[in-house]
Amino acid sequence: MNRDARGGNPRLTHPLVRDGRDEPLRRASWDEALDRAARGLRRGRGAFGMLACARATNETNYLAQKFARVVMGTNNVDSVDRRSHAASVAGLAAVFGSGGGTSSYGEVEHTDVVVMWGSNARVAHPVFFQRVLKGVHGGARLYAVDPRRASTAEWAEGWLGLNVGTDIALAHAIGREIIQAGLANEAFVERATSGFEEYRALVEPWTLSLAQKVTGVPAPAIRELAHAYARAERAQICWTLGVTDHHNGTAVVRALIDLALLTGHVGREGSGLQPLCGRNNVQGAVDMGAVPHRLPGFQDVLDPDARLRFESAWDTALPPHYGLNLAEMFEEMETGGVRAVHCLGENPAPSEARRLKALDFLVVQDMFRTSTAELADVVLPATAGWAESEGTTTNSERRVQRVRKAVEPPGEARDDIDILCDLARRLGHPWEYAGAEAVWNEVRSVSPDHYGMTYRRLEAEKGLQWPCPTTDTVEPPYLHGRLWADDPALRGRRAPFGLVRHVPPVDLTDERFPIRLTTGRRLDSSNSAGQQGGSPRRGEFVELCPEDAERYGVVVGEKVQITSRHGSVVVSVWIDTALRPGLAFTTLRLPDHNDTDQPTSAARCPIAGTAEYKATAIRIDKLPLVTYVG
Amino acid sequence: MTVTSLGVPRRLLDLTLDGEPVRAPEGTTLLDACRAAGKDLPALCHVDARTPASACRLCVVEVAGSRALVAACSREAEPGMDVRTDTERTRHSRRIVLELLASSVDLSTTPGIAEWIEEYGARPDRFGTDAARLEREPIIDNGLLVREDGKCLRCGQCVRACGGQGQHTFALSVSGRGFGSRVGVEYDAPLTDSACVFCGDCVDVCPTGALSVRSEFDLRTAGTWDEPAQAVTTTVCGHCGVGCELTLHVQDNEIVKVTSPPDSPVAHGNLCIKGRFGHQYIQNRD
């Protein structure tokens, strides 16, 4: 069954191997499959890449990156879900030194202004948005910045419906207005930031009228948001994939952080920056070092002290340079720099099948027979991290929580940790862990930020947020309070303003492709092929505003062809008044239901490697009438 | 800087429960104070961590100086209060309440009710068979949630959970008056045509099982729902980065129900459709 749906596919219940390039996958014993995997990976040493999983536990991600670094001797480890969060991590880490949201959920209930930027949290993160609404009931003013007037905006005091891909222009205009109105927090800027003069010069051209022209947001609305945000005692900016899924996602994140630096809305209770992750353990995968440039606990691969700590703990020599990130790994697959890949719980095949086919050796460790598994030489059946194994995951507020085994995995499927250890043993590294807790205790011993989180404490306190350096204290729920310290030594490194320029989306609309297609989530869909069994309502659609529907003469339910410069796909029409003329919407990459991945733009963020999913130029064509005979 | 936010400090109040001195933190209800002192009172419409509905009147106690019985679930403890939880008057009141409720509402899936009926010597059948509310068929208009009006107490907890206390969806409300009142959605439409977002938070707060998830309803109908045999495990939802805690109810290695622990620091007992129902995909095991 060569299908990709996580919803409809049966689970993998036993290992599969392939006897030759053109042979089909056949059932194998665990010993045979693991021996083959070890043999293939041994040959691929020196050209290896590990694709870790943002749905797997911290413990699995820790072992996955340790496997890459210790067993395979490379920093080539990354997660396919970088696209959802890497830009936030990269932006926050560049400014503050650690790539986590600076606030906690609880603070949003006690703040004065909440800006939901590029985030339809009402449907994408409903339970978080309930807490935003608590804040709104407590008197907080909510602003929604989103091309669509989506259901989050229905609760907002102001909706700034910007043109897709003009976030930086809007942020700069807000920054300029704050400076011009004398509302910048000069004391904070002076004491805790650097690069303010350059920032002031950078945003100077972004007058409200220019911004109105570029972003499509009326000048008074921009002014209102600027003043509300700057005048607030406490304020939060929350964002999601609307900010990060651009070719310049990291730059957009920097532009938003600039606003917080300008007004001092960071490092205090109730004031902060809150990126929301799309997957359950995106944050944890990064924290555990399943990224090419950081070791567990956000320690830089190039930092000599950190290297020393890990080299002695792991009894190995670490490669003295950053590894390849996801985008680079896929590029190297074509040029031969990456020959063998271990893909753990991810399914990149729908967009990268050609490159995966070029590999010498591919191991897939997954719950399902995905289309990536169909390309693999060895397929290892694994467990569902959140319900079939013990461990921890880390949420968007940096809270590490215990996940527990509730059901037995089907057939011969095995825990990710066991599989990785067995494979490491076959490659000459006698890894023995008594279980997830033993792995976690090793994480604690190498990551000072996680040291204080024993399983017992995580259980008793219902999760703990990092940093947690001691076993008997709890840190404040917000990060970077140091920026407000009186003593310059305690204040530490100044937070630099990000000097980023507005660049329009790579894929421009023109006469041939007049419509801007943007993507997002619907309440009952989750990206990567609806993980849940059957929405009670409807399937996948391309959504148009009523005006465009009339213009193209299409009705609800009608199938149309949408074509971009990259490809085309047939999909049904839905009409949504949240949209406006020239803007179409569809849910994120659902390769099984439709091929939205195909027509979206292939440009990537140069810093974080995130993909441009939010801004594709398309056209809509009615399908020719077909008469079926017989 | 190591600071733990402790919130507003709370005083301890002195009061007496059934003649014994107890101390309770300021702001706690009499029901919480009783439970902390090891005295469990019967209560149907009380849901942990939610605003009390004060609807079922089962938890009534006597407070010295108060003419009427007071609902322990909503009355806050005050210094010097003299509370009696088990007097002739409270027992009589609870018995009548149990008889009225059990004669008119189908309480067959209400936890604890049989024990209370026995403990208080209630005889619901003494009002005859006419007392029962007109039986309505269960409303099964979607694959996730089942509504059974015959089991509904009209306590309103689901309406609050759907509205301003949690979901802010406001799909459920009470319509009609008196005996004709019932909980429903706009225009009495099928749930799929209503504002409902299928978060299932109403199921978690429903004390009688009038609202249930389809998987539980189907197993109960088939007679294979076996609660004592179910294992209950708390884990974290696998769908998005918010990280809501989930309690998985597992019977024969199948997840048959998902609930949300009310004391979770992340979700406060709320969930969305993905967390509540998005677990089928791991169970495709054929």
Q: How far is A406 from chain B (nearest CA, A)?
A: 6
Q: Which carries the bigger pLDDT value, residue B146 or residue A562?
A: B146
| A69 vs A288: CA distance, rounded Å | 13
pLDDT at B2 over 50: no
Strand order in the sheet with A235-239: A158-160, A141-145, A113-117, A235-239, A272-275
Average pLDDT over every residue of B232-247: 92
Query: Nearest-CA residue of chain A relative to B279?
Result: A532
Answer yes or no: are the C-beta atoms of A436 and A390 closer than 8 Å. Answer: yes
Q: How far is A263 from chain B (nearest CA, A)?
A: 22
Nearest to B237 among A9, A386, A474 (CB): A386
Mutation for testing the A interface, residue in B144, B282, B285 having most A CBs under 10 Å:
B282
Q: Which carries the bigger pLDDT value, residue B136 or residue A407?
A: A407
| Mean pLDDT over the full length of chain B | 88
Q: Residue A437 has what pLDDT?
A: 94
β-strand pairing of A391-394 with A378-381: unpaired
Nearest to A127 among B2, B4, B267 (CB): B267
pLDDT at B34 over 50: yes
| A620 vs A615: CA distance, rounded Å | 15
Nearest to B285 among A10, A279, A401 (CB): A10
Query: Nearest-CA residue of chain B relative to A521?
Result: B240
| B213 vs B200: CA distance, rounded Å | 8
Q: How far is A176 from chain B (nearest CA, A)?
A: 33
Nearest to B284 among A10, A106, A537 (CB): A10
The answer to whether the Cβ–Cβ distance between B2 and A384 falls below 8 Å is no
Q: Residue A5 has what pLDDT?
A: 37
CA torsion A468→A472→A477→A481, rounded to 10°? -80
pLDDT at B132 over 80: no
Largest CA distance in chain A: 85
Q: How far is B223 from chain A (nearest CA, A)?
A: 22
Q: Residue A223 has what pLDDT?
A: 96
The answer to whether the Cβ–Cβ distance between B243 and A10 falls below 8 Å is no
pTM (two decimals): 0.88
**Collapsing DSSP states into helix, strand and coil, what is residue B165?**
coil
| B106 vs B152: CA distance, rounded Å | 8
Q: Residue A594 has what pLDDT?
A: 36
Block means of pLDDT (10 residues each) for chain A, length 630 residues? Answer: 45 91 91 94 91 91 94 89 74 86 91 92 90 91 92 92 91 96 94 94 95 94 96 93 78 93 93 87 89 89 91 91 89 90 87 86 92 92 90 93 93 93 94 93 93 93 90 88 89 91 84 85 46 46 89 88 81 88 73 42 48 74 68
Q: Residue B7 has what pLDDT?
A: 62
Q: How far is B226 from chain A (nearest CA, A)?
A: 16
Express the helix, strand and coil content of chain A in percent, nearest 5 each: 35, 20, 45
Nearest to B243 among A396, A475, A524 (CB): A396
Sign of the torsion angle spanned by Cα atoms B148, B150, B155, B159: positive
Mutation for testing the B interface, residue in A6, A81, A88, A127 having most B CBs under 10 Å:
A127
| Count of helices and strands (H, E) across chain B | 7, 12
On whether ipTM exceeds 0.90, the answer is no
The answer to whether the Cβ–Cβ distance between A126 and B243 falls below 8 Å is no
